[in-house]
């Protein structure tokens, strides 16, 4: 794992969405960069929300919760959940009761 410092932004690995499916080498290099530095950029993703899970599927499976496969944090006028407010959230664990 690389230590983050001010110079990391100049060396972040980048790949293109379509290319990671055409070349196992491109995908492998991108995933290796994520593992090494904890971050890599992926350009050219479609702008549909469900593609977020397609990116996560490159790493493994998505464990669903009672909220579904993914949860959109947003601010609503009459929130039913703290995640639907504009309040800052401290570090916490969600759903710790799940196996």
| Spatial contact of 30 and 21, defined as CB atoms under 8 Å apart | no
pLDDT in tens, 82-97: 878 888 878 878 777 7
Q: Is the pLDDT of residue 25 over 90?
A: yes
Which residues on adjacent β-strands are paired with residue 68?
65
Residue with the larger pLDDT of the pair 47 and 94: 47
**Rounded to the nearest 5°, which phi and psi values hold at 17?**
-45, -55
Mean pLDDT for the stretch of residues 50-60:
85
The confidence score (pLDDT) of residue 31 equals: 94
Q: How confident is the model at residue 99 (pLDDT cuts 50, 70, 90)?
A: low
CA nearest neighbour of 73 among 64, 81, 62 = 81
Q: pTM for this structure? A: 0.67
Q: Is the pLDDT of residue 7 over 80?
A: no
């Amino acid at each position: 794992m690389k230590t983050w410092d001010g110079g990391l932004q100049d060396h972040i690995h980048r790949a293109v969405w379509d290319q990671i499916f055409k070349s196992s080498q491109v995908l492998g290099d991108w995933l290796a960069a994520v593992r090494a530095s904890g971050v890599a950029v992926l350009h050219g993703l479609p702008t549909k929300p469900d593609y977020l899970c397609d990116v996560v599927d490159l790493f493994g499976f998505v464990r669903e919760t009672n909220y579904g496969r993914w949860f959109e944090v947003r601010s609503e006028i009459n929130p039913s959940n703290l995640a639907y407010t504009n309040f800052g959230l401290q570090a916490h664990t969600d759903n710790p009761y799940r196996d």
